[in-house]
Chains A and B, each alone.
Chain A
Amino acid sequence: MKSAIFLLAAAAFAQTLDPAKLKQPPTDSWPSFNGDYSGRRFSPLTKINDSNVSSLSLAWVHRISVPSSGGPFTGTIKSSPVVVDGVMFFTIPDHVWAVDARTGRELWHFAWPSRGGIHIGNRGVAVQGKWLFFETPDCNLVSLSMKDGKERWHKQICDPDQLYYASAAPLIVGNHVIVGVSGDDLDVPGYIQSHDPETGERQWRWYTHPEPGTPEAKTWPSVEAMMHGGGMTWGSTTYDPDLNLIYFGTGNPQPVVAHKGRLGDNLFTECIIALNPDTGKMKWYFQSSPHDTHDWDANQTPVLIDGTINGQPRKLLAQAARNGYFFVLDRATGKNVVTSTFARANWAKGVDAKGQPIPDPLKYPQNDGALVSPNQAGAANWPPPSFSPATGLFYINASNAYSVWYIYDDTDKPEGWGGNDRGGYSAAMLQAIDYKTGKLKWSHKWEGPGGPRNGVLSTAGNVVFAADPLNNFVALNATTGQPLWRANLGSAISNGPISYQLDDIQYVIVGAGDTLFGFAMNPKK
């Protein structure tokens, strides 16, 4: 009788997300891109820990198979899987899969008939109740049934004719599906918007530029420049339920490199933004890269830290930005607490009273070239960082990099990019940053060329999972940075790892190219 009741309950609740899970550190699920609203990507699980991780073993492999119309390159898994009730959901552009989180066995596959757009990557799904949501390169927000992958509705969220596309993982907050957009080929404005999870109807849209006539609008030379000023919203969004604020970064201003037509700070591009998710009204902004000229989108995760500064408990937010700077802010007010660098950055003259870097005009792109650090790929990029409340360290896979930035279009009215960078040198390392000071506690240099493009997971087992540039998935001691375990996956690690525990077995999942790998710490028999 007891088991019958259990079965009934399980059947009623199969693959249904309890909204409370989004507010808790992830244990038997990983219910959103970052695992919870904080963006810490910290697992409280300890079955895998620094004393036994050297025995971590392979539990399953799932290699995706995509029809050739998807193109030969688009099969790279950059999404962070979402796990609900023992089922895992992950994406590549135009495709969603559901697989068994214990075995990797495929349950269903959904293919979106694409009408175009840049297929550079998809960061994954969001889940509410029995439904999931994802964005497509041709600018649609699509809702599917978690049970069978059947489409419920789709809504256009941007315009491919203006060369927008969509790649972000949506975020669910209450009855809002928050979606960001991408695209910086033409000079179009960025925005973030919210949709009703039931109907898909748009609830609000917030443009990443000021209203004409406001003080912030004076950071542009003209309304025309501001309305074509870029600032896309393709990073991951975090949320503080107590303050009822969502946090996200905005991308590069337009024109991207040839900047003479947009002198000024170019708000609200390159900012960390706090918005009310119910109204779409901005609470505060902090600009990571005033007047950016190097494509250093400030879309890196704003990680929420409940910490202590000078003995006082503080609600903080930290970002390791693509431009090489690390910022800690008060997330209620946006006021700066710490500004430091976590990698080479030679482009700023200093830091202003607000804690924002002051760009050095000599390091703007030049007709004859400017040697700039970091390069376009950045000191960091979209791959998510991690913060461990156990060690108090912020972990980011970073690069020390140089390239030469040139103006290509020196005509009177450059548009689009009008320049770019070339060549370069890049060295990779995993940085562990003390959030209280912005100083490095340790730095683990990776061998191999170039900066790694993969995320980080930290756990209560004093382990950090990261990857080197040579296809190794690596576990390190979170306190000391000592490498403890590795698996060479034969292809570049391509997403941020996640972890969950089912039936006493803790799993760690990571993507490398077209394959998901499930590692597990099996109980002793």
Chain B
Amino acid sequence: MADERRLIARAQSGDTAAFRTLVERHQARAHALALRILRSPSDAEEVAQDAFVRVWTALPGFRGESTFATWLHRIVARRAFDRAQVMKTRRARERPDEGLPEPAAPAPDEDTLRAAKLQELIAGLTAAQRAAVTLFYYEGRSVEDVAHVLGMPENTVKTHLLRARAALRAAWTHELGDET
């Protein structure tokens, strides 16, 4: 933590090597967050890159009121959510297989099939529901935090989570109900 604070201080004063270390430390989670919201590797990379460039720009004003990771993820989530809204129609025309990377194992066992099914169900949620579910489960954030990150009222986030769970439960029961 102290090491990270030193890196941030150095990056704030313009040290690009320190900023590179920060990028290397946080790139996986930032990119994964964008990918889980957008489900398009090319858009996710662009959004994650934009977010890091934005972080570099705004870093001199970062006062450490939240952790660096929280601040970064907030920027990534906002941008990914905005992109998801803007790209809604474009993404509908994209090839259906341009989503998360396929699992490495070629022979689909039961677990793989279930994971693929869940992935498909999550893809069927609206962008707002997906963003709320992703931040809630992947980031392990509270409803209050999710609301803050997405710039929505808490009740709206609760509604998105509730509707997402209801949709997922209905589809899960329909698809895999007999096996559970």
| A, B: real partners | no
Binding site for A on B (CB under 8 A): none
Binding site for B on A (CB under 8 A): none
